[in-house]
Amino acid sequence: MATSNEVVVSHNVGLHARPAAVFAKLAATFSSTIQVENLTKGTEPVNAKSVLRILAAGIQMNDRLRISADGTDEDAAITALSNLITTNFGETE
């Protein structure tokens, strides 16, 4: 019973080190397995809880991502992580 959502990255430098760290740290608070796939770059889905795997996915501005989760808190995980991306990590630029 997995679920997923697609979002577009609007952060002007993409998921570079600091946003990637914030994203992974949030993902790690959920018990579900969570993956993120860079649909624009066509990379394999990676473990969203690993900051290094996220960095290796080379996520840049305007990339479309698919966030998938599987577990008891999968809906909460998808919502929280999607919101993080769509609100630009709470940054104004």
List the end-to-end C-alpha distance of the chain, in Å, as a whole number.
Answer: 36
As a whole number of angstroms, the distance between CA 30 and CA 28 comes to 5
60 near 9, Cβ under 8 Å? yes
Of the residues 3, 5, 16, 45, which is catalytic?
16
Q: Indicate the residue among 13 and 52 with the shorter CB distance to other proteins.
A: 52
DSSP at 52: H
Backbone angles phi, psi at 10, to 5 degrees: -110, -5
- Would residue 16 show up in a list of annotated catalytic residues for this protein? yes
Q: How far is the CB of 21 from other proteins (least distance, A)?
A: 5
Q: How many CA atoms lie within 13 A of 31 on its CB side?
A: 3
Q: In the range 36-75, which residues lie near other proteins by CB under 8 A?
A: 49-53, 56, 58
Q: How far is the CB of 62 from other proteins (least distance, A)?
A: 16
Q: How far is the CB of 49 from other proteins (least distance, A)?
A: 7
How many residues sit in the footprint of other proteins (CB under 8 A)? 14
* Beta-bridge partners for 60: none
Binding site residues, other proteins, CB under 8 A: 17-18, 21, 24-25, 28-29, 49-53, 56, 58
- Catalytic positions are 16
